[in-house]
Amino acid sequence: MTDAPQPVNSIVNRTSLRQAGRMKTALRMSALAFCLSACAPLSIYYREGESVSRMQTETTQCQVKALKDAPVATQIRQSPPIYYPPRTYCHGPGQCYTRPGWWEPGRVYSVDANAGLRKRVEAQCMAQKGFRPVSLPPCRQNVKSQVTARRTTRLPALAGNSCFVKFDDGSFQIITPAQAG
């Protein structure tokens, strides 16, 4: 191995190292997304006094209608390739080597061209049924501790500082200031 034109630093090539680095990044991002989902707002369609089960039924019906009216239109796309130019490394006088340049292909990904249209069709359908979209923040611990935990079955009147508690089974409790005070 001492006769090689360039020093051997590793038996793992650079491509393998980049892939391992990408995997670590993907795992970190997944963990971050999981942690942040606990802090995510509750986005639902709302009509005061309506039952949650009715709201969920109407939402599902409108989602199905939107899917029929604006079906999934998957498009495959690719980001541009990246060129890494050659680099020369020197470890002392006369001990230089040049790493050749290389192209890294662009990332291939897919998009649903109708996703935005489908969301608008769903929102129009729900608006025709008298619902409007709302987004509620998660309740702070001091608010949660002031009320008895029970799932919301009817959508209550909302105030500017209404919030929600999400339960393990996917249900939720909407808390208004009158309940917390």
Domain holding 156, by residue range, is 136-181
Q: Is residue 144 part of a domain?
A: yes
Q: Is residue 152 part of a domain?
A: yes
Q: Is residue 162 part of a domain?
A: yes
Distances (CA, A) of 4 to 1, 9, 16, 49, 92: 6, 12, 21, 78, 17
Q: What is the chain's pLDDT, residue by residue, as a tens digit (181 residues)?
A: 445 555 545 454 555 545 555 666 666 666 555 555 557 899 999 999 999 999 999 999 999 999 999 999 999 999 999 999 999 999 888 889 999 999 999 999 999 999 999 999 999 999 999 999 999 999 888 888 888 888 999 999 999 889 999 988 889 999 986 554 4
Distance CA 181, CA 17 (A): 56
Q: Is residue 158 part of a domain?
A: yes
User: Do 178 and 151 form a contact (C-beta atoms < 8 A)?
Assistant: no
How many domains does the chain contain in total?
A: 1
What global pTM score does this model have?
0.64
